[in-house]
């Protein structure tokens, strides 16, 4: 079996997530796209674990999941806080830190 | 000792260690220094008794000096140099400078002059400054001056001398500008300080050269090794020392500060700018005789400078209506005589010092007398507003008259003996120099008589509401003492005593007869002076003196009033070029240097103004840049891996 | 590989859907599709533990958190897909395409060879093998991760916590406020009208009609207004002809304007057509 297909799929998903981050304005959707990117890397990691025949890739994917969970918790809390004060979940509205 | 042409020799400074009463040598300096410290640090707590303490301490120094003088008289000629090592002042590598005091006949005489005249002037100041709210500070400065001056004449090395030299410069600056609320006084103090710096530069360069040539600044080391240096080196050293002496002693071309220095209180003019500090240059040259004796060219320059200064000062003295400035011109002229004596070499050193001492007496006397007159005339200094004061202030008049007779060289008075000797030696060495000295003596007679007539004789020209009265006893007392010294100062020449006494310092000279008999020289001098006095009498004694200075006067008078254009010469040659240079440098600094320095930041700022547009605050734009970066990295990786 | 070839197009389409759907909830659901598909791929890649974790943690916990926050935040203009930054969308598309092309081409160039396979590594069971590595070689990372989770939990609590600055309003104060509003501004004192009353649809998205036939804004939730799902009065009027056609009645004589029409429509006493 060849894992090239898996890795290419991973790259495609990553690219889609990337474009999503750049084009969507809703902070929560942006976050979803980031999750999509993380999942794409996870797929690559698991596929490479299979390729190399050891489980380190799966462990790495596991760690990525944990970190993603922590990141989502904090990120969503920040989005909540911003929404409370600005009444907006748009990433473009939080643009005061500029020239 | 180094044999020179003509059988002369330079004595080596070779002192014995201090014992007995000489162990108190350090106290001479320490007492006034302590006074200055107490009065200046103690502040207003010492206001009540500060002037008394400030007077007692120099008197204490005088008493010690007197005891040591008597004690040194009892010693042999060869045993009259005493050195006291206090502590090692500077020790760095080969450089080792001790805080050493040297007591020899030269410093002995200076000690007596400084502490003696200084004490009298302190006493006088108690009365003169009685109404000044800052009298205590004045006495603190005076004590500081006395201490510095004593350090100057007592130090055994040039570095210690330099310490005192700068100390008197500082005290002079502080005292000239004592009434600093007057802009003229503040400017005069600054001028004196700056011009003195020129001379100080000469002295510090000379000291560095001593270090390089002899590895030491000690008089004993240098005097014993002086013969090892070449004549060129000695000439350079001599010229540097002469520059220093010119600055301190107000000799041409650094004379411009002395007349302005009269802005200070009159006791200061008497003590610092007549009797003691301005003679430090003469002391320096006499003390450095081991340099000048080996540098005949430098000696010639000294004589030329002295001759110019004699006439220059006398010229100013003739034209000034300000009594203190007239006296200041006279001081410059008289110091010219001393420099002349010092420049004449071994034959003249003793007479230079002799004239220095008598001048210290009669010029201090006359300055204090002028102060007394000003005291009675409500601080008016214009002689054209005086006249007929002799009746109002008899004691001042009489004492002033003693000083007057002394300075013009009236036979028998101290100035007669001292000036006469210098003229005699000058005539012996060089007929032109002797004639200049004679001419100076005549002019001295003229301007002093003018001063005397305008002040004490002729009719009253007093301002309204001025009632001259005799000064209090605390002021007239010192006048009487100084007058007595002016009259009797010549006694030091009795039996050539002073020449013998100074021999361990100045060396022995073969007595040379002048081209004409000594008595004839004296007679000619007296006649020249008499002519000067007579001219003054015809000009000022027989006609009414106008209350306002006449405007349609000859060029000579106008130049004299302008101090022979000394200030203008300085302005043209030094001040204005420096000012233009400074403003040019300022413009260069602002335009070029600052332009280069600020141009970079300005350019960066301009670039930043454009570049900051990228910071638009939109997180998605930043993410886009991130994507671009990642793309480049991936492309680079691919490019590296696939090739 | 059969599973892969089935799931790969589904995942790609779902992921692209995330880019284009307007509503965040739809995006979340599409993401769920991608994640569950991924879980199946994990299973196909001999990672049964990750298969379970992917479904439980990602799809079950994290996505639910997303939906929960979506509920809190509600719906606003950020859902709009109109681009506001000039050139951003074009640049993003170009950048994304480039990245995708580079990745696909680059990965396609690599010949990875046959996979070793995890049969040997998973000999004693996948979970046991993972635990072996995790608690030996990666034990420090594991502990650090726990610290990270604790920190994240505390951080989220701190961020979400809101300090109450004013005293909590009570029934009494609310009642007093309403009476005061009535006295000062004439605000209606009684309860708000219920939606759907006097309307053809008895539903919350249909505004109540006032006696003169105009729809009452106060009768519907403002959330529905913001979402744009409220049926408007003209739309209601459009239905009338349809319904009249259904019941076979002649066109209504008095239908000159919409408002009286609805009024007659909803008031049986005035119209004789119904009888």
pLDDT by residue (tens digit) across B351-370? Answer: 899 999 999 999 999 989 99
Q: What integer pLDDT is reported at residue C275 of this predicted model?
A: 35
Q: What integer pLDDT is reported at residue C33 of this predicted model?
A: 94
CATH architecture group of domain C1-74: Up-down Bundle (1.20)
- % of residues, chain B, pLDDT over 70: 98
Cis peptide leading into B253, omega within 30 of 0? yes
Q: Which residues of B288-307 are buried (b: 16+ CB within 10 A; e: fewer)?
A: bbbbbbbbbebbebbbebbb
Give tens-digit pLDDT for A19-29. 999 998 888 99
Asked which of B167-171, B172-176, C20-24 is least confident by mean pLDDT, the reply is C20-24
Q: Report chain B residues touching chain A, CB-CB < 8 A.
A: 612-613, 615-620, 623-624, 627
Q: Do residues C258 and C237 touch, judged by C-beta distance below 8 A?
A: yes
In whole angstroms, give the CA distance from residue B408 to residue B366.
12
CA distance A51 to chain B (A): 20
Q: What integer pLDDT is reported at residue C272 of this predicted model?
A: 38
Which among B624, B635, B638 has the least Cβ separation from residue C91? B624
Q: Which of A96, A93, A77 is nearest to A31 (CA)?
A: A77
For the record, the structure tokens of C180 come out as 């005061």
A chain contacts of residue B631, beta-carbon cutoff 8 Å:
none
Q: Which of B449, B457, B444, B265 is nearest to B372 (CA)?
A: B265
The chains found to touch B (3+ Cβ pairs under 8 angstroms) are A, C
Residues contacting B596, CB < 8 A, separation 6+? none
Q: What integer pLDDT is reported at residue C49 of this predicted model?
A: 92
Asked if residue B597 has pLDDT above 90, the reply is no
Which among A18, A91, A99 has the least Cβ separation from residue B619? A91
C127 touches chain A (CB under 8 A): no
Asked if residue C69 has pLDDT above 50, the reply is yes
Mutate to test the interface with C, among A34, A37, A39 (most CBs of C within 10 A): A39
Residues contacting B458, CB < 8 A, separation 6+? B387, B388, B540, B541, B544, B545
B chain contacts of residue C96, beta-carbon cutoff 8 Å:
627
Mean pLDDT computed over every residue of chain C? 80
For the record, the structure tokens of C83 come out as 């681009």
Give tens-digit pLDDT for C37-56. 999 999 999 899 999 999 99
> Quick one: closest CA in C to B624, which residue?
C92
Q: Do residues B177 and B186 touch, judged by C-beta distance below 8 A?
A: yes
In whole angstroms, give the CA distance from residue B99 to residue B90.
8
Asked if residue C249 has pLDDT above 70, the reply is no
Q: What integer pLDDT is reported at residue C104 of this predicted model?
A: 85
Find the mean pLDDT for residues C157-181. 88
Radius of gyration of chain A from Cα atoms?
Answer: 17
CA distance C135 to chain B (A): 34
In whole angstroms, give the CA distance from residue B203 to residue B166.
10
* Contact between B618 and A92 using a beta-carbon 8 Å cutoff: yes
Q: What are phi and psi of B254, to 5 degrees?
A: -105, 35
Asked if residue B26 has pLDDT above 80, the reply is yes
Q: What integer pLDDT is reported at residue C251 of this predicted model?
A: 52
Asked if residue B465 has pLDDT above 60, the reply is yes
Q: What integer pLDDT is reported at residue B3 of this predicted model?
A: 43
C35 touches chain A (CB under 8 A): yes
Which among B613, B623, B627 has the least Cβ separation from residue A99? B613
Going from N- to C-terminal start, the domains of chain C cover: 1-74, 191-264
Q: What integer pLDDT is reported at residue C261 of this predicted model?
A: 40
Identify the three-state secondary structure at position B382.
Answer: strand
* Contact between B631 and C96 using a beta-carbon 8 Å cutoff: no
Q: What integer pLDDT is reported at residue A47 of this predicted model?
A: 92
Q: What integer pLDDT is reported at residue B492 of this predicted model?
A: 85
In whole angstroms, give the CA distance from residue B443 to residue B453.
15
A chain contacts of residue C42, beta-carbon cutoff 8 Å:
43, 46
Q: Which of B221, B179, B181, B201 is nearest to B95 (CA)?
A: B221
CA distance A86 to chain B (A): 16
A chain contacts of residue B620, beta-carbon cutoff 8 Å:
21-23, 25, 91-92
* Contact between C85 and B631 using a beta-carbon 8 Å cutoff: no
Q: What integer pLDDT is reported at residue C239 of this predicted model?
A: 66
B chain contacts of residue C102, beta-carbon cutoff 8 Å:
631, 634-635, 638
Please give the interface size between A and C, counted as residue pairs whose CB atoms are below 8 Å apart: 245
ipTM for the complex?
0.93
Q: What integer pLDDT is reported at residue C274 of this predicted model?
A: 40
Q: Which of B53, B122, B56, B35 is nearest to B477 (CA)?
A: B122
CA distance B634 to chain C (A): 8
Q: Do residues B2 and B227 touch, judged by C-beta distance below 8 A?
A: yes
Q: pLDDT tier at C198 (50, 70, 90 boundaries)?
A: low
Q: What integer pLDDT is reported at residue B269 of this predicted model?
A: 86
- The CA-atom distances, in angstroms, between B147 and each of B23, B107, B126, B370 are 18, 14, 19, 26
Which among C16, C18, C122 has the least Cβ separation from residue A32? C18
Find the mean pLDDT for residues B502-524. 79
Q: What integer pLDDT is reported at residue B472 of this predicted model?
A: 86
Asked if residue B218 has pLDDT above 80, the reply is yes
A64 touches chain C (CB under 8 A): no
CB neighbours of residue C253 within 10 Å = 10
CB neighbours of residue B63 within 10 Å = 14
Q: What integer pLDDT is reported at residue C268 of this predicted model?
A: 40
Mutate to test the interface with C, among B619, B623, B624 (most CBs of C within 10 A): B624
Give tens-digit pLDDT for B368-387. 999 888 888 888 888 888 88
* pTM strictly above 0.90: no
């Amino acid at each position: 079996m060849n894992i090239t297909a898996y890795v290419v799929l991973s790259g495609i998903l990553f690219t889609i997530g990337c474009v999503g981050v750049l084009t969507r304005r809703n902070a929560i959707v942006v976050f979803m796209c980031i999750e999509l990117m993380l999942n794409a890397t996870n797929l690559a990691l698991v596929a490479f674990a299979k390729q190399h025949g050891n489980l380190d890739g799966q462990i790495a994917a596991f760690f990525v999941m944990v970190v993603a969970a922590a990141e989502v918790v904090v990120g969503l809390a920040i989005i909540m806080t911003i929404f409370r004060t600005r009444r907006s979940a748009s990433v473009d509205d939080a643009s005061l830190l500029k020239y | 000792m180094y044999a020179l042409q003509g059988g002369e020799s330079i004595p080596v400074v070779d002192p014995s260690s201090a014992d007995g009463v000489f162990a108190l040598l350090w106290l001479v300096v320490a007492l006034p220094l302590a006074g200055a410290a107490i009065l200046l640090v103690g502040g207003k707590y010492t206001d009540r008794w500060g002037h008394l303490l400030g007077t007692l301490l120099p008197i204490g120094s005088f008493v010690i000096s007197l005891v040591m003088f008597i004690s040194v008289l009892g010693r042999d000629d060869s045993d009259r140099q005493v050195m006291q090592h206090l502590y090692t002042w500077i020790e760095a590598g080969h450089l080792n400078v001790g805080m050493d005091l040297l007591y020899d006949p030269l410093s002995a005489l200076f000690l007596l002059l400084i502490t003696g005249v200084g004490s009298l002037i302190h006493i006088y100041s108690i009365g003169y400054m009685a109404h000044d709210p800052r009298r205590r500070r004045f006495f603190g400065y005076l004590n500081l001056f006395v201490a510095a001056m004593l350090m100057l004449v007592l130090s055994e090395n040039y570095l210690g001398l330099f310490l005192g030299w700068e100390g008197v410069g500082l005290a002079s600056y502080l005292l000239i500008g004592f009434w600093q609320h007057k802009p003229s006084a503040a400017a005069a103090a600054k001028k004196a300080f700056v011009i003195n710096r020129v001379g100080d530069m000469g002295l510090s360069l000379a000291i560095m050269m001593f270090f390089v040539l002899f590895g030491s600044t000690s008089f004993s080391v240098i005097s014993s090794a002086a013969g090892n240096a070449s004549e060129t080196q000695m000439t350079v050293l001599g010229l540097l020392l002469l520059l220093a002496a010119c600055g301190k002693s107000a000799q041409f071309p650094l004379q411009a500060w002395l007349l302005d220095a009269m802005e200070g209180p009159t006791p200061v003019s008497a003590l610092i700018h007549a009797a003691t500090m301005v003679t430090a240059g003469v002391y320096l040259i006499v003390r450095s005789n081991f340099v000048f004796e080996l540098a005949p060219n430098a000696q010639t320059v000294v004589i030329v400078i002295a001759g110019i200064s004699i006439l220059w000062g006398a010229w100013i003295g003739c034209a000034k209506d300000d009594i203190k400035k007239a006296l200041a011109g006279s001081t410059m002229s008289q110091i010219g005589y001393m420099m002349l004596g010092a420049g004449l070499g071994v034959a003249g050193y003793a007479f230079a010092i002799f004239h220095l001492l008598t001048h210290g007496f009669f010029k201090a006397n006359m300055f204090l007398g002028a102060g007394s007159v000003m005291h009675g005339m409500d601080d008016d200094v214009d002689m054209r507003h005086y006249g007929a004061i002799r009746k109002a202030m008899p004691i001042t008049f009489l004492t002033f008259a003693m000083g007057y007779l002394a300075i013009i060289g009236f036979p028998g008075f101290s100035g007669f003996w001292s000036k006469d000797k210098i003229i005699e030696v000058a005539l012996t060495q060089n007929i032109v120099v002797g004639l200049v000295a004679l001419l100076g003596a005549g002019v001295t007679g003229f301007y002093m008589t003018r001063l005397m007539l305008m002040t004490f004789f002729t009719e009253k020209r007093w301002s309204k509401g001025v009632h001259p009265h005799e000064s209090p006893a605390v002021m007239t007392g010192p006048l009487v003492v100084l007058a007595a010294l002016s009259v009797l100062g010549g006694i030091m020449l009795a039996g050539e005593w002073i020449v013998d006494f100074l021999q361990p310092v100045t060396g022995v000279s073969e007595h040379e007869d002048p081209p004409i008999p000594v008595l004839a020289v004296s007679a000619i001098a007296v006649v020249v002076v008499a002519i000067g006095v007579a001219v003054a009498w015809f000009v000022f004694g027989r006609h009414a003196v106008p209350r306002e200075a006449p405007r349609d006067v000859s060029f000579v008078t106008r130049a004299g009033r302008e101090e022979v254009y000394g200030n203008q010469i300085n302005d043209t040659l030094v001040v204005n070029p420096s000012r233009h240079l400074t403003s040019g440098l300022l413009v260069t600094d602002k335009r070029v240097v600052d332009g280069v320095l600020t141009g970079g930041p300005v350019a960066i700022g301009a670039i930043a103004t454009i570049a900051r547009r990228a910071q638009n605050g939109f997180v998605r734009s930043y993410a886009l840049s991130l994507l671009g970066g990642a793309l480049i990295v991936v492309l680079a990786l691919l490019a590296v891996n696939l090739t | 590989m059969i599973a892969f070839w089935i799931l790969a197009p589904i995942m790609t389409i779902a992921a692209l859907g995330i880019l284009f759907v307007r509503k965040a909830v739809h995006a979340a659901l599409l993401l769920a599709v991608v994640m569950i598909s991924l879980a199946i791929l994990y299973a196909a890649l001999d990672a049964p533990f990750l298969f379970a974790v992917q479904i439980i943690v990602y799809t079950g916990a994290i996505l639910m958190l997303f939906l929960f926050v979506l509920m809190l935040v509600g719906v606003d203009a950020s859902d709009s897909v109109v681009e506001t930054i000039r050139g951003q969308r074009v640049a993003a598309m170009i950048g994304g395409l480039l990245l995708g092309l580079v990745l696909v081409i680059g990965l396609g160039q690599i010949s990875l060879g046959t996979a070793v396979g995890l049969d040997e590594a998973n000999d004693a069971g996948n979970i046991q093998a993972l635990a072996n590595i995790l608690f030996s070689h990666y034990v420090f990372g594991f502990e650090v991760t726990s610290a990270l989770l604790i920190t994240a939990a505390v951080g989220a609590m701190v961020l979400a916590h809101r300090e109450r600055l004013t005293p909590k309003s009570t029934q009494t104060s609310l009642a007093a406020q309403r009476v005061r509003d009535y006295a000062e501004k004439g605000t209606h004192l009684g309860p708000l009208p219920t939606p759907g009353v006097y309307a053809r649809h008895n539903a919350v998205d249909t505004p109540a009609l006032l006696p003169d036939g105009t729809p009452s804004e106060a009768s519907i939730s403002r959330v529905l207004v913001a979402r744009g799902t409220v049926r408007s009065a003209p739309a209601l009027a459009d239905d009338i002809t349809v319904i009249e056609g259904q019941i076979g009645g002649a066109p209504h004589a008095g239908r000159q304007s919409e408002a009286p029409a609805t009024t007659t429509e909803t008031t049986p006493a005035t119209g004789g057509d119904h009888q």
